[in-house]
A and B are shown apart, each in its own frame.
Chain A
Amino acid sequence: MERIPILRMGDFLLVTIQVDMHDQLAMTLQDDLTNAIAKHSSHGVLIDISSLEIVDSFIGRMLANISGMARILDAQTVLVGMQPAVAITLVELGMSMPGVRTALNVEAGMELLRELVSATRVEMGDEDSEV
Chain B
Amino acid sequence: MSKIADILQKNESELLTDWMKEQLAAVRRRDLMNDTDLRTQSTELLREITQAARNGNVTDIGSPEWTGVRERLSEISRSRAKQGFSPEETATFVFSLKQPLFRRLRAEFGKDADALFSETWNATILIDKLGLMTFAAFVTAKEQIIAHQAEEMLELSTPVVKLWQGIVAVPLIGTLDSNRTQVVMESLLGTIVNTNSKIAIIDITGVPAVDTLVAQHLLKTITAAKLMGAECILSGIRPQIAQTIVHLGINLTDIITKATMADALAIALQKTGRAVVRVEKVAAKAGEGNQKEAVNGIETAERKRA
A: which residues have CB within 8 A of B?
A: 79-84, 86-88, 90-92, 96-97, 100, 102-105, 108-109
Contact = CB atoms under 8 A, between A and B. Distances in A.
Interface string B215-239: 0000010011111111000000000
Interface in B226-270: 226-230
A84 B198 contact: no
Interface residues of B, number: 18
Given A87-B189, A91-B220, A82 B227 contact: yes
Contacts of A87: 189, 224-225, 227-228
Nearest to B221: A91
Nearest to B189: A84
A105 B126 CA distance: 67
A90 B229 contact: no
Q: Which 9 interchain pairs have the tightest Cβ spacing?
A: A84-B189, A102-B229, A103-B229, A87-B224, A87-B227, A104-B229, A96-B223, A91-B224, A82-B228
B223 A84 contact: no
B227 A104 contact: no
Nearest to A63: B227
Interface of B: 185-186, 189-190, 192-193, 196-198, 220, 223-230
A102 B196 contact: no
Given A87-B189, A88-B186, A96 B227 contact: yes
A84 B189 CA distance: 5
Given A84-B193, A87-B224, 14 more contacts: A82-B228, A83-B193, A84-B189, A84-B192, A87-B225, A88-B224, A91-B223, A96-B227, A100-B227, A104-B193, A104-B228, A104-B230, A105-B229, A108-B198
16 contacts: A82-B227, A83-B228, A84-B185, A84-B189, A84-B190, A84-B192, A87-B227, A88-B224, A90-B224, A96-B223, A96-B226, A97-B227, A102-B228, A104-B196, A108-B198, A108-B229
B224 A102 contact: no
A84 B198 CA distance: 14
Contacts of B220: 91-92
Nearest to A96: B223
Contacts of B196: 104-105
Contacts of A84: 185-186, 189-190, 192-193, 224, 228
